[in-house]
Chain A
Amino acid sequence: EVQLVESGGGLVQPGSSLKLSCVASGFTFSSYNMHWIRQAPKKGLEWIALIYYDSSNKYYADSVKGRFTISRDNSKNTLYLEMNSLRSEDTAMYYCAKGYYSSYFDYWGQGVMVTVSS
């Protein structure tokens, strides 16, 4: 059974940093591209980052480019999202998702909440 379990969220002040983790199980993690997607409270879905299976390529949404960094450790079956210079508009539920045919998202974690507020 595929499982994605996020952690590392919480309440932080504007301008601070946070690092999210997503531990994967039930599939060969090192063979799949992985994504981070977020959802602000009562809002829609926003894709924010993609990392290839071998970390050879990374892509970001303009809203987080230069502030967020996606990475992975295939030896630990873990995906990361390092978030710097956090803003109130980064307040959201953050989901990690497994890539399907490299283009879609077939498994999602339960999400981890990040709240940026003073």
Chain B
Amino acid sequence: DIQMTQSPASLSASLEEIVTITCQASQDIGNWLAWYQQKPGKSPQLLIYDATSLADGVPSRFSGSRSGTQYSLKISRLQVEDIGSYYCQQAHSNPRTFGGGTKLELK
């Protein structure tokens, strides 16, 4: 199985700050990578797919990038509605696997 190592596990940031979350894949997954946001008590929502493509309706302050087998999610200017947990997911092969998650809080 492909392992997705996500960091940090938790993150405290201020409004308008730039936030970056990373995921390291245990093997080459190409661009088969998605990011999800889960607000407290809610279902996850797709943010980014194919490593860099923004899902419909997602604000442009969210962006994804790739460097080899390392993937990053960047929030350019943190807003209060961005608070929650974030997960990466590889879609290269079964079983689909998620990173362990990053809990983002306001400082």
Contact = CB atoms under 8 A, between A and B. Distances in A.
B49 A44 contact: no
Interface string A96-118: 00001101111011110000000
B60 interface: no
Interface in B49-107: 49-50, 55, 87, 89, 91, 94-101
A62 B100 CA distance: 18
Interface stretch (A9-17, A22-30, A45-53, A76-84): A45-53
A45 B36 CA distance: 10
A47 B49 contact: no
Contact of A103 (B32, B44, B95, B98): B32
Contacts of A50: 94, 96
Interface of B: 1, 32, 34, 36, 38, 43-46, 49-50, 55, 87, 89, 91, 94-101
